[in-house]
Structure 1
């Protein structure tokens, strides 16, 4: 997406507040606050007692790099005189902005046309709002703020970009509060200020210079609150805008601290964006257009953490098609990001440390994912084509907790209904083998549940299960020792060396036949011109005699051979468990220096049963 499109999306979300900013004045961006205590404003009088409308002409307000221009502003139902109204909006006025805005009261404030200009890369981005009306303004607090719509253009030499959006509205806008945030200092203990109760933007349409079109049917945001920061918002925003992509050394550290304070001081109660569509033309003669849509995107809080939901995603491109019914990100937190920015304010961050400061994420869930990829030519041999690939996932969930240096130490992945076709004659690995066994489709479900115990220096595989329809189930549990905190060190050399100290303490395997083994036996029996029962007896005898011979002919080895033999002859359920006799487990050196498999087997307690 082009820069102009990104800027347009941000404006669509905040357009109504831009209209309100005209009433606040230039100090909101320039940080020109004057110290002193605000005096209470004069309450709005009844409309019937007010005089004629107050009209201000050719109002121009420079907000740092942004300039707002209004050919006409009309205040209706106000006790203010023209000079008093002009003084409130005077950029050079001596009184603090909060004090002046407390005096702003009117039944309506009408701005027929509002032009917002912002330089960008040698050009000027222009947004023109029309039919702006603020109603029920009392002591600087606006009951409702509306605009009939806006147009977006980029003026100056270069490629064209344009856009428009429909009705904009905001509720319960606190102009003195906004002035405090932009012009007055605060700190971590400052009380938060509710800037607005809600903002709505409708029918957003943006077009980039490359012909890409971006549309949003509606944006709704509610309950924006802000906390005055050590450096006023206006100064912080201006410094961050001026230093973007340029600052180095101490200046970059300073900007990191400003960004951390600003982000920490902003809170949004909820956000919903609906009806998102993107259409982009192909980038070359062999590339077709790209179409994408998202029915709904929401942000809110749940149990004190952020939650993002995406519904109805569809992407259609030359590289393939993707459809997703739902995606949810839960347990979102920017706390690590803020810690990273503050750490950067103290000095440069090593690249290996960056993962510590990634946003925290507790759970990811998806519903009904469908991916369809067409045949692709090989980069090495354009005449060689890979077959088309289509797969789907009915549902999946990944839960993560207890992060260590940015890496979760407890996680559980569960998926259901990973499906794909098994085309006859396919040459793809695994699928070709399944096709040979007579499968026409693959349907898998599974679970991976693991947790690290810092005190015990162990990783427990609580459940690793894979189930295939008409195939069977494999389940593994186990314990790996020698896993200390060094394994999670951001430095790859440290973590790699720490893994060398890992040891196997226990492992349990359960196999349940659901049809896969029998198909394999039938295939092999046919190839050898034998009956399946005859081949199973041969395999059973080989297991009964061969396994003990390889593992040293101990009683445990013979019991294992007998259990495998019974499973082969009459496939049902096979359970095998092994635990190291040494409480410390068996390490890599134990396996690499053992003269034979039997010597390793003798150091294990093995149990095996077949049902």
Structure 2
């Protein structure tokens, strides 16, 4: 063979050998880099496989610690960025299989996660397994990720909690869970097509199954839910709430999620094989939730609750301390909420056993805000900030065979069905150690409305102290600075006087005149005969004569308020009590 031809042949063989070995070198390099990144991030990977031609990397048996919980993924397929023939697209489609996520007592299992348009190429891998910032929290790494969508055809969860001798186990299934337009760990929209849950409760202290009464048998509550959607979900911050405490750095409020809506909730509870109750809800919706990190991670607080109430051998003497420990844990979680509002509409409840009872609630509303809401905010929020909740139209029928005196009187007055509403709105003035009750009201259809507002003083954290002596001292220090009561007649007093008059063979007008005279003379006579008490008696008398609206206000003369210690000094004598108050009353 000529020398030139021989040289060309050897060059061709050498090139062929290099081409043949290049995929192997690329494969080994990719697998080594991924293994190192995983190790430095605290993760373990049972198997790594790289396709040198496409840059596709498959991870098997991935396990990653998440706070006090853990994340396990059976299989992940994605781009590793090392490819002899890289794909043209910038975004990547990622598939995860057999995902298992444990948070405290809850475990979530996902057979398959399909992520479209993900940033999980080699840079995405670096964001999760970042060797240059080993120890960076998962939430911070997750916040670097973006995707067009993430679809989970099915999500299963299981949770078990034991409090004393009682164990509650919950299992559930979510179908077609889709997160859309994920940017830096925040999803524009998350939807769930339907869901179902089953919760069983068993008490180990109760007799064996063969000896159990109906009430002692294990209970099971099953529920189904329709379409659920929630907007603007900060998934990365949610992970932080569960896995990170506030620390000493900045802790600004974050919009955790926006408006949400859940349609069609149905729930049934059974004791053994016997149906006990049924609940139907047409809709649950809300304005969203804004919060900051609590002092301790939520997972840690959940573990505290389990530990505090999971001791079956706890003595009665330790139970009050446990209760206040639980209040502190719950209080820490609640203190991380800056604002939120929700409404539950179309509630129907049927109790089957032990006594049949049915009632409906038009709506239950609740709102919380640390500050006065902005103009145009949802009416669910309290107008001045604080807490607001309301039950609208609690409707039920009075049992005709009732033995209770009050129920019999209502039936005699013509009330066969009742529709009641209850509302509360108040806020805590921490700087002034005051509890401001703006509205606490009860109203009824064809009955009327009673409203109370008040200002309480010396409201301190000691009221929730775990030390009983400290709690009692704080309770004794409470004062009332002012109190206002408004009664509006919407038909109740007309029916009341008609019923009483019929019992006494009198006309309603004659009975009103009689009672008005008693109030005019009796109220000031009982309360000491001051000018304020005479005005009060006169207002009550006018209201009885013509029931419309009665307003009564009491203000403590001492700016610090009127407290239990002040009451004790009066010996409970009405005249001495009223000397420390300014009373005003008006009938309209």
TM-score bracket, normalised by the shorter chain, equals 0.5 to 0.7
1:134, distance to aligned residue in structure 2 (A) = 6.1
Change (3 A) 1:79 1:449: farther
In structure 2, how many angstroms separate the alpha carbons of the residues matched to 1:468 and 1:144? 60
Deviation at 1:550, TM superposition (A): 0.5
Corresponding residue of 2:23: 82
Distance 1:476 1:607 in 2: 15
Residue 134 of structure 2 corresponds to residue 175 of structure 1: no
- What is the CA–CA distance in structure 1 between the aligned matches of 2:417 and 2:297, rounded to whole Å? 48
- SS of structure 2 residue aligned to 1:399: strand
Deviation at 1:567, TM superposition (A): 0.5
Q: What does 1:548-563 correspond to in 2, within 5 Å?
A: 548-563=524-539
* Equivalent position of 1:394 in the other structure: 363
CA distance in 2, matches of 1:163, 1:172: 21
Give 3-state SS (helix, strand or coil) of 2:119's partner: strand
Q: State the secondary structure of the residue aligned to 1:335.
A: coil
State the distance in 2 between where 1:152 and 1:484 align: 47
Tell me how far 1:151 sits from its aligned partner.
7.6
Q: Please point out which of 175, 183, 187 is paired with 1:216.
A: 175
Per-residue CA deviations over 1:213-255 (Å, capped at 9, x if unaligned) read 7241232155364xxxxxxxxxxxxxxxxxxxxxxxxxxxxxx
Q: What TM-score comes out, normalization by structure 1 length?
A: 0.62
8 Å CA contact 2:423–2:440 kept in 1: the answer is yes
Kept in 2, the 8 Å contact 1:135–1:143? The answer is: no
Structure 2 equivalent of residue 295 of structure 1? 227
Rounded to whole Å, the distance in 1 between the matches of 2:358 and 2:295 is 38
Query: Please, what TM-score do these two structures have when normalized by structure 2?
Result: 0.64
Partner residue in 2 for 1:276:
194
Q: What is the Cα deviation at residue 145 of structure 1?
A: 1.0
Displacement of 1:165 in angstroms is 5.4
Deviation at 1:513, TM superposition (A): 0.7
> Does the 8 A contact of 2:402 with 2:408 survive in 1?
yes
For residues 461-493 of structure 1, give each alpha carbon's deviation from its aligned partner in whole angstroms, at most 9, with x where no partner exists.
223333322111222222222334534556554
The CA deviation string for residues 483-514 of structure 1, in whole angstroms up to 9 with x for no partner, is 34534556554344212111222212121111
Among 142, 145, 157, the alignment partner of 1:195 is 145
- In structure 2, the partner of 1:601 is 578
Q: Quick one: distance in 2 between partners of 1:601 and 1:94?
A: 80
C-alpha spacing 1:413/1:433, structure 2 compared with 1 (3 Å) = farther
Q: Name structure 1 gaps, 5 residues minimum.
A: 1-77, 99-103, 120-124, 154-160, 226-266, 378-385, 403-407
In the alignment, is the contact (CA less than 8 A) between 2:128 and 2:141 conserved in 1?
Answer: no
In 2, the alpha carbon distance for the partners of 1:428 and 1:79 equals 94
Offset at residue 604 of structure 1 (A): 1.9
Cα offset for 1:588?
A: 0.9
CA distance in 2, matches of 1:139, 1:517: 81
Q: Secondary structure of 1:317's partner?
A: strand
The 5 Å alignment of 1:25-174 reads: 81-91=22-32, 143-145=91-93, 169-174=116-121
**Cα distance in 2 for residues equivalent to 1:145 and 1:480:** 59
Deviations 1:317-353 (A, max 9, x none): 1331231402337334351154788999xxx999475
Shift in alpha-carbon separation, 1:325–1:500, aligned structure 2, 3 A: same
Which residue is 1:411 aligned to?
386
Q: Do the aligned residues in 2 keep the contact of 1:164 with 1:205 (CA within 8 Å)?
A: yes
Structure 2: 5+ residue stretches without partners: 1-18, 40-49, 65-71, 101-107, 159-168, 202-208, 235-252, 270-276, 309-323, 372-381
Q: 1:570 to 1:80 in 2, by over 3 A?
A: farther
1:307 matches 2:257: yes
SS at match of 2:402: coil
Alignment partners' CA distance in 2, 1:214 and 1:317: 17
Which whole-Å CA distance do the structure 2 matches of 1:142 and 1:428 have between them?
76
What residue in structure 1 maps to residue 446 of structure 2? 470
Asked whether the equivalents of residues 189 and 233 of structure 2 are also in contact (C-alpha less than 8 Å), the reply is no
Whether 1:317 and 2:268 are equivalent positions in the alignment is yes
| Mapping for residues 344-355 of structure 1, pairs under 5 Å | 351=325, 353-355=328-330
- Partners of 2:129 and 2:79 in 1: CA distance: 21
Contact 2:54 2:87 in 1 (8 A): no
Residues 79, 106 of structure 1: 8 Å contact kept:
no
Query: How far did residue 390 of structure 1 move?
Result: 1.9
- Cα distance in 2 for residues equivalent to 1:435 and 1:328: 38
Deviation at 1:97, TM superposition (A): 8.0
SS state at 1:336 partner: coil
Taking a change above 3 Å as real, the CA distance of residues 291 and 191 of structure 1, as seen in their structure-2 partners, is closer
> Residue 141 of structure 1 contacts residue 174 of structure 1 at CA under 8 Å; is this kept in 2?
no
- The verdict on how the C-alpha distance between 1:498 and 1:207 changes in structure 2, with shifts beyond 3 A counting, is closer
Aligned residue pairs, count: 457
Instruction: Quote the residue 1:204 is aligned against.
Output: 154
CA distance in 2, matches of 1:207, 1:587: 51
Structure 1 residues 135 and 443, CA gap change in structure 2 (3 angstroms)? farther
Question: 1:217 and 1:412 mapped to 2: Cα distance?
Answer: 35
CA–CA distance in structure 1, aligned partners of residues 451 and 130 of structure 2: 62
CA spacing shift, 1:491–1:466, aligned 2, 3 Å: same
Whether the 8 Å contact between 1:105 and 1:140 is mirrored in structure 2 is no
